[in-house]
Amino acid sequence: MGMKSLLNYTINVDVAILILLVKVSIMANSTSSGPKDMSTAFLIRVDQSGQGDYTKIQDAIDSVPSNNSELEKIVVPADKPYITLSGTEASDTIITYNDGGEILSESPTVKILASEFVGRYLTIQNTYGKTGKGVALRVSGDKAAFYGCKIISYQDTLLDDAGRHYYKNCYIQGATDFVFGNAASLFERCHLHSVSEGNGAITAQKRESPLENTGYVFLGCKITGNGGAILGRPWGSYSRVIYALTYMSGVVQAEGWNDWGDADKQKTVYYGEYKCYGPGANRDKRAKWSNTLSNEEAAPFLNKNMIGGRSWLRPAPTHFKRIDQKS
């Protein structure tokens, strides 16, 4: 057959169902050397009434060729890169499930295992609630980006597991360790909302070696909530979290950081704040082993270099075709 042609896929969901509400799209690209033109996507319709190409989003994802170089849970498998799941507005594009337990990899409402994934304008939630750990979103693939999404649960909301990730204008809600894992991620202009009734932690970053280029950077973000919250605690001995130019409401407790009962980690973690503001940003009573960053120290975390984002972040497609036009 010769060289594969470039294929993008868009899947629209137009029928309200328990798990998904209106207008969801999935876009993928197929070429042996990666995407070359992401401006056009083929359209696949998902309609529960049977009027579309598929009745379930997972079936639409499964229809994308493996090793593509183009009330359900959603899994984007590792062998299907270059898929985008996109809604029109997060408030009316909702993927929800109710599951939880100690096996964190099993409870997520949405699992992203593939590289080069993009999520736009979605609400992804786990309604397991206060009964235990219930992950809404697990991101384990490299080069994943989310724009304008809402990610909601109570404990362990976002398993930002592995790889390089970018979140922009996202809303993330939880009570305990609600951003956790060992990815290298930049959160830009995101809204973190704590629903903790006591002193829940916003982050539990798992960097385990000084040689790992992982960690979380919150740049120009906003922290709100009720009760009390700390900025982070170390899941890994070399946990790394930076808040820069971020508004912190009074929900952030004075000490700011916690060593999770292991004083030895105070010597190895890297927790920093740079020019944050608001009633919760006062560092007078902060944990002494956390850092007030200078301009020079903060500079590496104030752009996309940490995640190499300038080489892989891509714009949304601007043209769409029906799937039956691909040949």
Q: Which residue has the tokens 């959160």?
A: 187
Which candidate, 9, 184, 153, places its Cα nearest to that of 86? 9
Contacts of 102 (CB under 8 A, 6+ apart): 132, 133
Number of neighbours of residue 72 by Cβ within 10 angstroms: 15
Residue 261 identity:
G
**Helix locations, 132-288, DSSP H:** none
227 conformational bin, left if phi > 0, alpha if psi -120 to 50, beta if neither = left
Neighbour-count burial for 176-209, b at 16+ CB within 10 Å, e otherwise? bbbbbbbbbbbbbebbbbbbbeeebbbbbbbbee
Contacts of 244 (CB under 8 A, 6+ apart): 217, 218, 219, 220, 273, 274, 275, 276, 293, 298, 301, 302
Tell me, yes or no, if 142 is annotated catalytic: no
Q: Which position among 59, 79, 177, 264 bears the catalytic label?
A: 177
Instruction: State whether residue 252 is helix, strand or coil.
Output: strand
d(CA 13, CA 89) in angstroms, rounded, equals: 13
Tokens at 17, concatenated: 């169902």
Catalytic residues: 177
